[in-house]
């Protein structure tokens, strides 16, 4: 229940474009989920995807990409192959990630 509440609050903050706050809540929710027995890999995958999306918005595309890949792996282990959530995450990997602007040369 705690993980669900943290994840839900994180999603609300994400939708309000409060990505740094959302990131923290998604990380907390994941920590709770990962400690649960038995683990719910599908929910871990969804939370990992949400964390990746937050990091992408915070200009951390490489971290986001690693997490998207991990989210896909978790979801593939726990969901049917044709689950639309897997395709949704895969599409994020095929789209250009938010790369930070290059620093001016000095």
- Tokens 């990380």 identify what position? 27
Tens of pLDDT along 60-101? 999 999 999 999 999 999 999 899 999 999 998 877 666 555
Residue 48 pLDDT more than 60? Answer: yes
Domains annotated for the chain, with CATH where assigned, are 2-94 (1.25.40.10)
Q: Are 74 and 53 in contact (CB under 8 A)?
A: no
Average pLDDT, the chain: 91
Count of C-beta atoms within a 10 Å radius of residue 6: 21
Q: What is the pLDDT of residue 88?
A: 92
When computed from its CA atoms, the radius of gyration of the chain, rounded to whole angstroms, is 14
- pTM given for the model: 0.85
CA angle 58, 6, 62 (to 5 degrees): 25
DSSP string, 17-53: T-HHHHHHHHHHHHHHHHHSSS--HHHHHHHHHHHHH
């Amino acid at each position: 229940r705690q993980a669900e509440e943290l994840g839900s609050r994180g999603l609300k903050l994400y939708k309000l474009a409060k990505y740094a706050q959302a990131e923290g809540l998604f990380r907390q929710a994941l920590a709770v989920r990962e400690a649960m027995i038995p683990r719910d890999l599908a929910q871990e995958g969804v939370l990992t995807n949400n964390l990746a999306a937050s990091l992408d918005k915070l200009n951390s595309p490489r971290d986001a990409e690693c997490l998207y890949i991990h989210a896909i792996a978790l979801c593939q282990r726990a969901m049917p192959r044709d689950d639309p959530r897997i395709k949704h995450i895969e599409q994020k990997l095929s789209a250009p990630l938010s790369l930070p602007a290059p620093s001016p040369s000095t």
